Structures are given as C-alpha cells and as structure tokens.
Amino acid sequence: MSKEKAYKLLALQENISNNKAKELIDRGLVYVGDKKVKIARADIDDDTRFRIEMPQDISIIYEDDLIVAVDKPSFVESYDVEKIMPNLKLLHRLDRETSGVLLLSKDEAFTKEAIEAFKQKKVIKDYVAWVDGIIYEEQEIDVPITTIKKGGAAFSKVDVKNGKPAHTTIKPLEVQGKKSKIDIRIDTGRTHQIRVHLAHAGYPIVGDEKYGSRTKAKRILLHAKRISLLGYDFTSPEPKDIARYK
C-alpha cells in the first residue's frame, strides 16, 4: 500500500487546495475515525478516508450598548471571534478547544472597568469538565503557575518558587466508569490554569494530551458555562459532548 502526505490526500479527497487542507489539519478539524490528524505532512495510507468537523456557528447570548456575550464553539480561536465582530474588544479569552461564554466590549471606558474587575478578582468564572479519575468530594487547588511562551504556543506548569498565584475549586457532579464530571471555579486567570491544576491534582481533562490525559477525545472536554462581572451574569448551555460523556 502506498503512502501520501496527509494534507495532499485531504486536498484530493475534498477538492481543495493544499494550503486549505493544511489549515484544516492545523486547526484540529480533521479526523480519521475518532482520531485527530495532528501532522499535516505525516505520511498516511493513500486509501485513508478523512472526516472534517467544522465548528458550529457563533451565537450571541446577550448584547447591549456596552457588552456582547457570545457562545464560542470549540475549535474557534477567541481572537477570530474578535475579528469577525468589528469594533469590539475581547475582555478575556478561552483556549481554542474550550467552548462556552466569551465576552467582548463595545465601549472603551467599560473595557477598562472590566479589565480592572478581572485584575481585582471580582469576576466569577465557572466551568464544567470531564476528567480522568474519580472525584468524590470538593477540593481546592492552590499552587502557583508559570507560563512559557515560544513560537506562538504556550505551556504552563506548577512552579512553587517562581510562579504566580493561582486558585481553583472543583466539585464532583457525576462519575462514569473511571471518569468524573466536575464543576470548576477559578479565582485567577492564569494561562491554562484549569488544565495545569487538574493535571497536577492527578485528574487531567479528558482529551488534554498536552497535560497528561491518556484518554482520546475529539477535543479537550472543558466548557465555560458561566461568567459574572459588573452586574452582568451570563450562562452557556452544556454542549452534547459535555452534557453526556459517551
């Protein structure tokens, strides 16, 4: 059986350009069965059949003269949401594979006020996730985090000596086999905080291979379900892959 570069084979199958095929693979949208194709230039059997899973449309949860709350699908960059909504400014960001509530501001003065609220830890941020391992009781994870940024990518780790303070509270919701569904609240907003803290506690998020999960999934099973700031309170319903694990 002969081999072909993954992006070239995808381009042929979908009748798209090589560059478009590379982009789809790099964005994490291309699968063979339940496995994500991670390397566009990987050699792959030429009879392989791909599946492309495009993100859902971005829906607006709420909008007024100051703020817009959107329901961000997984596999959409926060900055891409900002780009398609002209004259709006992101107030925070979610990782590409994380779904849920994302806030943008329409007003410069409101933006400054909101950013200050984040700095002063006056913002409530609640998430829900499926993790490896069994969690029976509420736990607090209070260990500092350091983030290393290189080549446009970020990696965070627990660093007791030099890290910045980070606090996460988790509560069990459901246990299914050796997986747990949990509520998460963060008082700080370090890069990849939830992912790093849960991995450190021995409960990596399902699908988060970067931080130690051995369970394959179509994406990292983390959803930003609620955010509250400056008198506003927004929620996002759980998508199907979060509401029910397989």
Outline where DSSP puts E strands in 33-144.
35-36, 43-45, 51-52, 59-63, 67-72, 89-90, 99-105, 124-132, 139-142
Residues 71, 95, 132, 208: which is the catalytic one?
95
State the alpha helices, DSSP H only, in the chain. 6-14, 18-26, 78-84, 108-119, 193-200, 240-243
> Distance between CA 129 and CA 164 in Å, rounded?
24
In one letter, which amino acid is 198? L
Distance (Å, rounded) from C-alpha 36 to C-alpha 39?
Answer: 9
> For residue 160, how many other CB atoms are within 10 A of its CB?
9
DSSP letter for 3, please.
E
Question: Cα(170)–Cα(137) distance, rounded to whole angstroms?
Answer: 8
Which residues have a Cβ under 8 Å from the Cβ of 58 and sit 6 or more positions away? 70, 71, 72, 73, 76, 81, 84
From 120, 84, 107, select the one nearest 229 (Cα to Cα).
120
Is residue 95 annotated as part of the catalytic site, yes or no?
A: yes
Alpha-carbon span 128 to 126, nearest angstrom: 7
CB atoms within 10 A of CB 140: 12
Residues serving a catalytic function are 95
